[in-house]
Amino acid sequence: MRIAFIGDIVGRPGRKIIKENLSKIKEEYKIDFVIANGENASHGFGLTIKNSDELFKAGIDVITGGNHTFDKKKEMFVLLETKNVLRPDNYPPGVPGTGIKIFEIKNEEKLEKLAVINLMGQFCMPTVENPFNWAKKLVEELKEQDVKNIFIDFHGEATSEKRVIFMMLKGQVSAICGTHTHVGTDDLQIMDNTAYLTDIGLTGCRDNVIGMDKKVPISKATTGLGGHFEVPNACKSILQIMIIDIEEGRATNSFKLKKFCDKNELIKTDAIID
């Protein structure tokens, strides 16, 4: 099974570069299933029904979330009930939706199960249950159901939280990839048969500040006066995608692709195997 993960999709530029490139990448690299973090896909904050349909049509199979999941609350309630859209599973009890789904994926002549888990860290985040204990419980339950292939999107501000979840679960899950900071890290690796990347980085504008127009962030940094962040109408964009080969729950290979809107080639980075 070969799966792919895209994150964090920021506004129209992120959706546009996905629509223009994802189908070709899926075909060229023979990708069976695509996961994407879409909590910033609509104007940089939240996800609308219209934009989710746009991403599904572009070739994404399931959309994960994070601290901006409920920015467009009414539409998100509908999406969580009707579409392959997840929110962090460790939101407190009573919050609509779920952060875990099991999919059946056709791989050659057989069907294989893949569990996709969405979790959120605690540092600088909304109130959530302890993600580490929560993840341990989820993985134990999946093992009892004989689900071997497990992918986790860990949405967190602190790199240390992401590294802790990796140290806890390496050898027990297939892959863990971090989201939220919009800044890609250079630590793609496979350890104890688990693929790991601290943060995939954004898919959207690369020539501003975390996908947003630079004016407000600069004003806030220099004067303390903030404002509403806006996604630029025109910019240089980037698509970042992590690809993982999984056999019987074990990551056997992983690499990251970067596609720049103004360059034809794909930049490929292979995982270090420890």
Distance CA 223, CA 265 (A): 40
Can you read off the two tokens belonging to residue 29? 């690299």
Which among 43, 68, 180, 182 is annotated as catalytic? 68
* Residue 253 near residue 245 (C-beta atoms within 8 A): yes
Active site residue 68: yes
CB hemisphere CA count around 116 (13 angstroms): 24
Q: Which helix (H) or strand (E) element contains residue 137?
A: helix 131-144
Q: Which helix (H) or strand (E) element contains residue 16?
A: helix 11-29
* Strand runs labelled E in the chain: 2-6, 33-37, 62-64, 100-107, 110-120, 149-155, 175-179, 189-191, 194-197, 204-205, 237-247, 250-260, 266-270, 272-273
Catalytic residues: 68
